[in-house]
Chains A and B, each alone.
Chain A
Amino acid sequence: MFAYVESLRMALSAIWDNKLRAALTTLGIIIGILAVTLMGTLISGLDRSFEKSMSFLGRDVLYISKHEWFGQEEWWEIRNRPDLKVDYIEKLKNQSKYVIAAAPVAMRSVNITRKDEMAMGINLAGTTPEFAQTAFMNIESGRFYTEGEDRSGARVIAIGYDVANALFENENPIGKKVKIGNYVFRVVGVTEKQGKFLGLFSMDNRAIIPLGTYQRLFARRGWMRLDVKVDDEHIDEAKDEIIAIMRRLRGLRPEEKNDFAVNQQDAFRQQYQTMKIAIGGTGLFITVLSLVVGGIGIMNIMFVSVKERTKEIGVRKAVGATQGSIMRQFLLEALFICLFGGAVGIVLALGGSFLIDKFVFPSTMPVSLALISLILSSVVGVVAGLAPSYKAARLDPIEALRYE
């Protein structure tokens, strides 16, 4: 028992005697631990912003479109697929028992002007009022347009938070006029600030008008998506059913492939998982590499330490140190050098995580990862210390004493 405490004390004082050398050798360990913990922080942050983005999509909304998200089809195959039609919406709603709401969405990029102000590159969506249910958006002020306005092709518009800010700096936009090209629209609502989707497309940089108006003014045919909100307890059944209905609407024979795609959040999830594995794998690779390099450094320095202290080992053996106690002393030394490196790595990672949290995206360093890091560095220490410690333990006392 006391021998253990003493081994610890001796190991620590040996490290203290060679502070600088110990600090330098831990560099590999520090980098390894830093890599693994920062990677954890990064992934936690990505997870968070990914989940936030996914909330724009909604788990229970299916997106029927010409192409699969992240699909493998050739572009020409997709181009040859027939366009989706507005009247599918009614048919889907009538024939499916799971559909809760459905909205066709057509989209294009426009510039919106008001007097001298211009908002450029706005995503203009033409859709029906049910979009309010499928799109997980809230109206901040004003209202969404009505069925009647939709049917009559009224020139009303709901604008995103950023658009409102750009065009109406200190005014209430509701009831005011804006122009898209030469067409004048009356602002009826402003949508709540939502942020960016996957950090790429701002959800606040858009405007929404009735589909009828959209088709009359901009495009009668062309790209369209059908957003279908389904019973969230039967998402898979709903998907199968919708595929069946769509095939019937398209008149496909059993042997023919789908000429449309029913997408859902999962596609993003899978894509995200792949990316996460790539990031995690890279991090793991860096970690393992630097831990191995660090371990070799520790082993090397421990061999030097054993050599330098050959005489000391001889003296200790002469007064009764067993092989075990010598082994323990040097193993503890290697272990503590690595634990020290691990601790420094974690402290640096805490700092790094703080910066990422502050300047990149909200994130936290997972505590479990810090613990794993410490365990990892202990393992490296013990493994790297084994050979030198064994060498020290096996030294012949007389030869060791004679060593100068």
Chain B
Amino acid sequence: MADLIKLNGLQRYYEVGGETVKALDGVDLIINHNEYISIMGPSGSGKSTMMNMIGCLDSPTDGTYEFEGEKVHEMDDNQLASIRNRKIGFVFQTFNLLPKLTALRNVELPLIYANIPKDERLELAEIAMDKVSLTDRMHHKPNELSGGQRQRVAIARALVTNPSIILADEPTGNLDSKSGVEIMDVFDELHNEGNTIILVTHEAYIAKHAHRTIHILDGRIEKDAQNKTTKQRKQPSKKKATL
């Protein structure tokens, strides 16, 4: 099987007022199925830029990006949208839920763009809500939920299409530490179920949940290592193949 993700000499430059900002400056990276990765680095080092790149929200200035063997850097807008829809679940620091929709409707959203019939959509959305233990909050609007609950809704939305990878950019950044721990429990559980997860964090104790930590500095990978301190977990089961 092809590597899940393969970045080669990936660059992302911004032109700002005649100056070039090298947000990513030659990143080589391979990510396999069912990895659990944390990305760390100082502010402005390019973590979010890299996540957006992996999440197909942004296109590289130079370099190549292959996702399950497909050349993402050559894709047009519609193909990128399709990859985002089917293969990627994104979790944001600020949740990014639609305020007018209920939790369940928010979770349902990606399935609408996947052209799935309504009954099936609601069923899948409920299953996803169950995975984040929020079945009792399905019909609440985001502003009727706590921060931790909102982030769980966002996670449910990310995993409802059963994506190949879940990306989370500082998912606990807007949460108190107790809620943060709860969210990390959800990620641990998802990883145990066979999901591939990458998350960005500034907190070492959050990063420790992952099995591999990548340090970024000035748009380059400074350090990439397996977490020795990771307490031995039960070997994750093979990712279920539904959908």
Q: Which residues of A contact B (CB under 8 A)?
A: 1-3, 6, 13, 17, 311-312, 314-325, 397-398, 401
Asked whether B100 is an interface residue with its Cβ less than 8 Å from the other chain, the reply is yes
Asked whether B222 is an interface residue with its Cβ less than 8 Å from the other chain, the reply is no
Q: A311-B96, A314-B96, A401-B96 are in contact. Are A319 and B115 (CB under 8 A)?
A: no
Task: Check if A320 sits within 8 Å of B81, measured CB to CB.
Answer: yes
* A residues less than 8 Å from B81 (CB atoms): 317, 320-323
* A residues less than 8 Å from B85 (CB atoms): 319-321
Task: Check if A312 sits within 8 Å of B77, measured CB to CB.
Answer: no
Q: A398-B52, A401-B92 are in contact. Are A323 and B110 (CB under 8 A)?
A: no
Asked whether B78 is an interface residue with its Cβ less than 8 Å from the other chain, the reply is yes
Task: Check if B78 sits within 8 Å of A322, measured CB to CB.
Answer: yes
Segment 47-79 of B: residues with Cβ below 8 Å from A: 52, 55, 57-58, 77-78
The contact of B109 among A1, A17, A316, A324, by CB within 8 Å, is A316
* A residues less than 8 Å from B97 (CB atoms): 315
Bound complex: CA of A311 vs CA of B96, how far in Å?
8
Min CB gap B161→A, angstroms: 8
Task: Check if B92 sits within 8 Å of A319, measured CB to CB.
Answer: no
With A315-B97, A322-B113, A323-B77 known, 9 other A-B pairs at CB within 8 A are A1-B115, A17-B100, A312-B98, A318-B55, A319-B85, A319-B90, A319-B157, A322-B78, A322-B81
* B residues less than 8 Å from A324 (CB atoms): 78
Give the number of residues in B that approach A within 8 Å (Cβ atoms): 28
A-B contacts, 25 of them at CB < 8 A, read A1-B115, A2-B115, A3-B112, A3-B113, A3-B115, A312-B98, A315-B96, A317-B57, A317-B81, A318-B57, A318-B90, A318-B96, A319-B110, A319-B113, A319-B157, A320-B81, A320-B82, A320-B86, A320-B161, A321-B81, A322-B77, A322-B81, A323-B77, A324-B78, A397-B58
Q: Mark B102-125, 1 if CB is under 8 A from A, else 0.
A: 000000011011111110000000
Task: Check if A2 sits within 8 Å of B84, measured CB to CB.
Answer: no
Task: Check if B110 sits within 8 Å of A2, measured CB to CB.
Answer: no
* A residues less than 8 Å from B113 (CB atoms): 3, 316, 319-322, 325
Interface residues of chain A: helix, strand, loop or mixed (majority): helix
Bound complex: CA of A316 vs CA of B81, how far in Å?
10
9 tightest A-B contacts by CB? A320-B85, A319-B110, A320-B113, A322-B81, A6-B112, A397-B57, A320-B84, A315-B96, A321-B113
Bound complex: CA of A317 vs CA of B78, how far in Å?
10
Nearest residue (CB) in B for A3 is: B115
Q: Which residues of B contact A (CB under 8 A)?
A: 52, 55, 57-58, 77-78, 81-82, 84-86, 90, 92, 96-98, 100, 109-110, 112-118, 157, 161
* B residues less than 8 Å from A401 (CB atoms): 57, 92, 96
Nearest residue (CB) in B for A318 is: B90
Min CB gap A324→B, angstroms: 7
Bound complex: CA of A275 vs CA of B109, how far in Å?
58
* B residues less than 8 Å from A323 (CB atoms): 77-78, 81
Q: A320-B85, A323-B77 are in contact. Are A2 and B57 (CB under 8 A)?
A: no
Min CB gap A147→B, angstroms: 88
Min CB gap B14→A, angstroms: 11
Nearest residue (CB) in A for B55 is: A318
* B residues less than 8 Å from A316 (CB atoms): 109, 113
Bound complex: CA of A95 vs CA of B229, how far in Å?
127
Min CB gap B123→A, angstroms: 14
Task: Check if A322 sits within 8 Å of B57, measured CB to CB.
Answer: no
**Most B CB atoms within 10 A — which of A320, A321, A323?**
A320
Bound complex: CA of A312 vs CA of B109, how far in Å?
11
Nearest residue (CB) in B for A309 is: B98
Task: Check if B57 sits within 8 Å of A319, measured CB to CB.
Answer: no
* A residues less than 8 Å from B116 (CB atoms): 2
* B residues less than 8 Å from A312 (CB atoms): 98
Min CB gap A51→B, angstroms: 56
Min CB gap B160→A, angstroms: 9
Bound complex: CA of A125 vs CA of B164, how far in Å?
99
* A residues less than 8 Å from B98 (CB atoms): 312, 315
Task: Check if B77 sits within 8 Å of A398, measured CB to CB.
Answer: no
Bound complex: CA of A316 vs CA of B90, how far in Å?
12
Min CB gap B159→A, angstroms: 12
**Most B CB atoms within 10 A — which of A1, A318, A322?**
A318
Bound complex: CA of A323 vs CA of B157, how far in Å?
20
Min CB gap A168→B, angstroms: 77
* A residues less than 8 Å from B109 (CB atoms): 315-316, 319
Bound complex: CA of A106 vs CA of B55, how far in Å?
96
Bound complex: CA of A336 vs CA of B242, how far in Å?
39
Min CB gap B158→A, angstroms: 8
